Structure 1
Amino acid sequence: MKVTLSRLELVNAIGKIQSIVSSKPTIPILANILIEAHQETLTISATDLTVSMQVQMGATVEEEGGITLPARRFFQLVRELTTGEIVLHTNEEEIAFIEAGTSQFRLNGINQGEFPSLPNLAEAEKFSIGADELKGLLSKSVFAAAREDSRHVLNGVLMQIENGMATFIGTDGKRLAKVDSAVEISADHKGSYLIPLKAVEEIVKSVDTEKGVKVSLMADKIAVEHDATVLITKLLSGDFPDVERVIPAESAFTLTLHREELMALLKQVSLFTTDKSHSVQFTLSAGELTLTANSSEIGDGKVSMPVDYSGESFEIAFNPFFFHDILRHSKDETVTFGMTNPFSPGLITDSTTAQFVIMPMRLASTV
């Protein structure tokens, strides 16, 4: 293989793919990236066996071929170079020679045949969606997903496709986010796809195109294609919880809350919670919502805001950080907050299709 390529374009490609490479690979080849030259294109691939990514860039290809190189070392070298172009060529002993101006480097590689093969997407069911819309749907659901939960099905986002609609759901058992959107797909296609957390975060981070995104659906994998980048991920296995049982069908009463004002108050009063008790008491009285938190170690805080409420006094407690996260992922000036009793989940909605559920907490002790 022998190619001449732009160093800046290579740096940009590296920036997209570097986080796919595992810091603690289970087998040595996973610490490498696959570099392939074909016609006028250089393709760089990385995988951790769960999430894989391919990035393509233009190059002047004198000899076609491929090699795998140690990702961390190669990335560091490319970033340190200062020339506009790089010449990369390999020999039969799986050694890569990198030339940048008068500088020359030799990097030992591994035969490309040892690199895990990526699936063929030709037979997959596909749908198209706007890049910003996909990022929005994933962002509004992934924040509620669990991190390293023993219930591994919660460590991801469930995507359900039915009747031309895509629904995205994330939950950690204490909060839940559900949002949906129409997609361009066969109306009779139906399926559930449990996307790992790392893959969701990589999609949100890497999708930076103004063009549409193509999503390919397979039995145990999905792929997201945009511009010259393809991300492929294996799906989590297992039964996702029946979230419809958790989402309140109706509430005893609802409030309209000013989002940014409540976010500011939650930040203030959360300073008086402890690691053992992330609990803030919400007290409703005529025309007012009061938030209180107290700790014998820290002190206490009390803030309030006007609300349109005329019922009897009502008390409930929530995790202020979870509540703030929900408000942060809504863009409306106001949100609707529905409650029934101190032991039932609250439902937060805005002008979109999003539904956010937050479980109540035990009131913090004053001792």
Structure 2
Amino acid sequence: MKFSVTKEKLLEGLQQVQNVVSTRTTLPILSNVLLQAAEDEIHLTTTDLDVGVRGSCEAHVDKTGATTLPARRLFNIVRELPSSEIQVDVDGKNAASIRSGQSFFKILGLPEDEFPPLPKFEGAKVVTIRQKDLRDGLRKTSYAISTDETRYVLNGVLFSFKDNKLTLVATDGRRLAMAEIELEFPRSHEADLI
């Protein structure tokens, strides 16, 4: 696998996925980010087996392929590199050579086939929400989520898609928080999810 990408685009892609990476895990692969180079973009995937995140960034791909690299280490290296083009070259033993200007780093990764696959959502209904709107809605409701593990049904946020709006609701049994986001989606996509 071989590709080149701007520092800003790779950093943005890593920021999208790195918060799911577990710092203390019994499975070393869960500390890694799966990098998949295909056509003109890099797909980045992380998981802690409960939550999985997939993102992507534009790149110039010379050779397609995939590997996994330690996510935090890769993020820290990319963050400290000078603002310029970054070249990544991964050999057959999952050793990544990272070059940018006068800087050179070598990171050992793990094979992509050890990375746990994210679930496939065949026939899933998709509703597009602007990131800012979702973030604001979650910020307005997440403080009321219960932390009591015995009341697991209260440990999340209710997403209610009805009448062309998304209503977010959270409670811990004492507090109740609600936020509404105007959306357009087909009536067949109406649902309540926690």
Which TM-score applies when normalising by structure 2? 0.87
Greater Rg, structure 1 or structure 2?
Answer: 1
| Distance verdict in 2 for CA 1:3–1:148, change over 3 Å | farther
Q: Which residue of 1 aligns with 2:68?
A: 68
Structure 1 position 126, deviation (Å): 1.9
Please give the alpha-carbon distance, in whole angstroms, between the structure 1 residues aligned to 2:48 and 2:88.
Answer: 25
Alignment-derived partner of residue 35 in structure 1: 35
Contact 1:159 1:166 in 2 (8 A): yes
Report the counterpart of residue 334 of structure 1 in structure 2: none
Distance 1:87 1:42 in 2: 13
One-letter amino acid of the counterpart of residue 34, structure 1 = L
Decide whether aligned partners of structure 1 residues 83 and 192 sit closer, same or farther in structure 2, where only a CA change above 3 A counts. Answer: closer
Amino acid at match of 1:56: S
How far apart, in 1, do the equivalents of 2:103 and 2:182 lie?
A: 53
Tell whether 2:58 aligns with 1:58: yes
1:10 aligns with 10
Contact 1:83 1:101 in 2 (8 A): no
Q: What is the aligned length?
A: 194
Q: Take 1:53 and 1:66, find their aligned partners in 2: how far apart are those partners?
A: 17
- Write 1 or 2 for the structure with the bigger share of helix: 2
Quote the residue 1:136 is aligned against.
136
Q: Deviations over 1:38-89 (max 9, x none)?
A: 1111121111122222221111111100100011222222222225122111
Whether the 8 Å CA contact 1:141–1:179 is kept in 2: the answer is: yes
Match of 1:337 in 2: none
What is the CA deviation profile of residues 247-289 of structure 1, one whole-angstrom value per residue up to 9, with x for unaligned ones? xxxxxxxxxxxxxxxxxxxxxxxxxxxxxxxxxxxxxxxxxxx
Q: What is the alpha-carbon distance in structure 2 between the residues aligned to residue 11 and residue 131 of structure 1?
A: 18
Does residue 27 of structure 2 align to residue 24 of structure 1? no
Q: What is the distance in 1 between the residues matched to 2:113 and 2:24?
A: 21
Secondary structure in 1 aligned to 2:14? helix
Can you list the C-alpha shifts for 1:163-211, whole angstroms capped at 9, x where unaligned?
54433210111111134455323324443311xxxxxxxxxxxxxxxxx
Deviations 1:119-141 (A, max 9, x none): 34562112234444433332222
Q: Contact 1:94–1:108 at 8 Å: present in 2 too?
A: yes
Cα offsets for 1:63-120 (capped at 9, x unmatched): 1001000112222222222251221111111211112233332211111111122234
Give yes or no for the alignment of 1:113 onto 2:106.
no
2:161, 2:144 → 1: CA distance? Answer: 20
Q: 1:148 Cα shift?
A: 5.1
Q: Secondary structure at the match of 1:125?
A: coil
**8 Å contact 1:129–1:184 — kept in the other structure?**
no
Report the secondary structure of 2:157's partner residue. Answer: strand
Separation of aligned partners in 2, 1:74 and 1:132: 27
Cα distance in 2 for partners of 1:18, 1:134 equals 19
Of the structure 1 ranges 160-169 and 102-111, higher mean CA displacement relative to structure 2 is found in 160-169
Residue 92 of structure 1: aligned partner: 92
User: In the aligned structure 2, how far is the partner of 1:97 from the partner of 1:130?
Assistant: 36
Distance 2:23 2:109 in 1: 18
Q: Which residue of 2 aligns with 1:127?
A: 127
Compared CA separation, residues 145 and 37, structure 1 to 2 (3 A): same
Q: 2:8 touches 2:83 (CA, 8 Å); kept in 1?
A: no
Deviation string 1:206-265 (CA, Å, 9 cap, x unpaired) is xxxxxxxxxxxxxxxxxxxxxxxxxxxxxxxxxxxxxxxxxxxxxxxxxxxxxxxxxxxx
Tell me if the contact between 1:160 and 1:166 (Cα under 8 Å) persists in the aligned partners. Answer: yes
Aligned to 2:103: 103
SS in 2 for 1:127: coil
Q: Hey, what's the Cα distance between the residues in 1 that align with 2:154 and 2:3?
A: 44
SS in 1 for 2:66: strand
Matched residue SS, 2:45: strand
Give the Cα separation in 2 of the matches to 1:176 and 1:151: 15
* More relative contact order, 1 or 2 (CA 8 Å, 6+ apart): 2
Aligned partner of 2:176 in structure 1 is 176
Post-superposition Cα deviations, 1:13-61, rounded to whole Å, max 9, x if no partner, equal 2233221211222422110001111111112111112222222111111
The CA distance in 1 between the partners of 2:178 and 2:162, in whole Å, is 15
Tell me how large the CA RMSD over aligned residues is: 2.2
Structure 1 unmatched runs, 5+: 195-367
Equivalent residue number for residue 152 of structure 1: 152
Question: Using a 3 Å threshold, how does the CA distance of structure 1 residues 72 and 193 change in structure 2: closer, same or farther?
Answer: same
